[in-house]
Amino acid sequence: MSWGTELWDQYDNIANHTSKGIDFLEKYGHFVDQRCKIEQEYASKLRRLVKTYIPKSKKDDDEYQFTCTHAYKNLLNELGDQAGQHEMIAENLSTSVVSELTNLVKQLKDDRRKYMVEGQRIKADLRSSLNQLTKTKEKYEKAFGASERALDAYNKADADINLSRAEVEKQRVNKTIKSQQFEDAKNEYASQLQKTNEAQAKYYNHFKPQVLTNFQDLDERRIKCIQSFILKSVNIERDVLPIVSQCLDGMAQNAENINETEDTRLVIEKFKSGFSPPGDIPFEDLNHDDTSGNNGPSARNGGGTERDDADSRSINGSMASMPIPQKKSLIGTITGNVRKRSGLRGLFAASKGQNGSFFEKDDFSDLPPNQRRKRLQGKIEEITGKICQETAARDGLMKMKQVYEGNPALGDPMSIQGQLTENEKRLTTLQSEKKKFQDYLDEMDAPGLSSVTTSAAHLSVSQLSVKRNSAVSSTTVRPTVQRRAVSLRPV
């Protein structure tokens, strides 16, 4: 199918169609350009989102040691990689589609303009030939009329016997002239008609079909390029889908790695103090006085039982070696002790400096046992890493010194000696620090230390049992006040 033959009389519609086609191609280019901006904006917002929620400090990193939070952190990293793929889509669309499409639109507009100029030129040539034919035809028709009138006048004059021979001859000469003019106009008209027919044949059979074919090629090239650009856009996005799929697979894998049992264990390891739970609070016999005089067991005839007396003796015996604190109410004592032991560190609260700020002790003795052990082990591992670095540096310096000694042209061996001395000082300091913290750890793991620490932790609770001193009359016996034994456990 060819526009030159099928649409030979639709030049204006073809010109309008090709113009709209190029406008559509340009519109598609604007669409792809907006798509690039959306992809870029989406990637930028994803990166901003990741940057907002990714841990920014060591304190935040500590919160991501659990499997669920670690999976969340990896999810953010995968999301950042996914944002990078959207940036890749935007970049490839911009360079491979938008840029080429813009150049193509410019080229198609230039070609169409050239074809339009060519079409206007050949159309103007045909119109000029037709105008010339019209003029020659009008001249030919005018000459024919004059010739016919001259012939009629001659015939009339020749038939009129009243006219002189001279007048008849005059009409004959005029007829001859008009006839010759008619023949000349006829020949000119015939020649111009031949030229016009040739120009019209070339116009409709060659020139115009060629212009319409050029328009057809231009439009087909535009349509083919649209197809190519759409496929290229799809392939650009398809190329990043495997990586995006890997990011999604990584997110799913991180989700599968979440382990509630492991997180529970990590919580225990993070917050375990190492203390043993406190024992039962001993019974406080408010009616028990000294065992002398009328206040002995034989004098209490009002309400005491043998079980109460046995409990009292047992409690008093266990408290004989403890200092007797000032009398306090039971509720007040509990409240005070619980308040003092609030928090994970409890009795191992951090020391307070002169300016009111808290600081940890060098041996971490202000921490609970389990937390102190972790901090000491972490400190030892940190120092061990530094020792390995310094040792590797020393070995490198020794090799360099040997090379300098073997070839003094490369450098002065004594210049390395100063660095070796500084390295040795750092190693000595680090080893001393490591030994110090190792001694702290060994002392902590020494037998009996845990029981002493636990006793210190329970000291405030043990003081809840207070021996009540009350004055008793020597001549009267006060009735014994019975109270139920209360077992209190810290919340």
Domain boundary among 232, 248, 266: 266
| 232 & 281 share domain | no
| 181 & 300 share domain | no
| 9 & 26 share domain | yes
Q: Which two tokens stand for residue 409?
A: 């042209």
State the residue for tokens 């959306």.
38
State the residue for tokens 């599968």.
256
The answer to whether residue 223 sits within a structural domain is yes
The answer to whether residue 489 sits within a structural domain is no
**Cα–Cα distance between 140 and 261 in angstroms, integer?**
113
Cα distance from N-terminal residue to C-terminal residue, the chain:
94
Query: What is the pLDDT, as a whole number, of residue 466?
Result: 36
State the residue for tokens 């307070």.
352
| 248 & 312 share domain | no
Query: What is the pLDDT, as a whole number, of residue 448?
Result: 54
| 44 & 165 share domain | yes
Query: What is the pLDDT, as a whole number, of residue 46?
Result: 94
Buried b (16+ CB within 10 A) or exposed e, 288-322: bbeeeeebeeeebeeebeeebbebbeebeeebeee
369 φ/ψ sector (left φ>0, alpha ψ -120 to 50, else beta): alpha
Residue stretches of the chain with pLDDT short of 50: 290-359, 450-491
Query: What is the pLDDT, as a whole number, of residue 8?
Result: 85
CATH label of the domain that carries residue 195: 1.20.1270.60
What is the SS3 assignment for 459? helix
| 249 & 293 share domain | no
Domain boundary among 266, 300, 315: 266
The answer to whether residue 354 sits within a structural domain is yes
**Cα–Cα distance between 460 and 458 in angstroms, integer?**
6
The answer to whether residue 39 sits within a structural domain is yes
Domain that includes residue 436, residue range: 275-462
Q: Indicate the number of domains in the chain.
A: 2
State the residue for tokens 């225990």.
268
Q: Which two tokens stand for residue 303?
A: 């309400």
Query: What is the pLDDT, as a whole number, of residue 447?
Result: 61
| 181 & 315 share domain | no
| 247 & 388 share domain | no
**Between the CA of residue 324 and those of 111, 227, 456, 465, what are the distances in Å?**
110, 97, 17, 9
**Cα–Cα distance between 374 and 62 in angstroms, integer?**
14
**Cα–Cα distance between 422 and 419 in angstroms, integer?**
5
Identify residue 125 by its one-letter amino acid code: D
Burial class (CB in 10 A: 0-12, 13-18, 19+), 260: exposed
Torsion sign over Cα 20, 23, 25, 30:
negative
**Between the CA of residue 347 and those of 267, 369, 455, what are the distances in Å?**
21, 11, 11
Query: What is the pLDDT, as a whole number, of residue 481?
Result: 35
| 260 & 322 share domain | no
Q: What residues contact residue 12 under an 8 Å CB cut-off, 6+ apart?
A: none
What is the SS3 assignment for 481? coil
Query: What is the pLDDT, as a whole number, of residue 273?
Result: 76
Q: Which two tokens stand for residue 213?
A: 């074919």
| 231 & 336 share domain | no
| 313 & 237 share domain | no
Domain boundary among 207, 232, 266: 266
The answer to whether residue 472 sits within a structural domain is no
**Cα–Cα distance between 362 and 173 in angstroms, integer?**
145
The answer to whether residue 477 sits within a structural domain is no
Task: Answer for the pair 166, 230: CB distance below 8 angstroms, yes or no.
Answer: no
The answer to whether residue 476 sits within a structural domain is no
| 289 & 208 share domain | no
Query: What is the pLDDT, as a whole number, of residue 360?
Result: 57
DSSP string, 325-375: PPP--HHHHHHHHHHHT-SSSGGGPPEE-TTS-EE--TT-TTS-HHHHHHH
The answer to whether residue 487 sits within a structural domain is no
Longest dimension (CA), the chain: 202
CB count within 10 Å of CB 341 equals 18
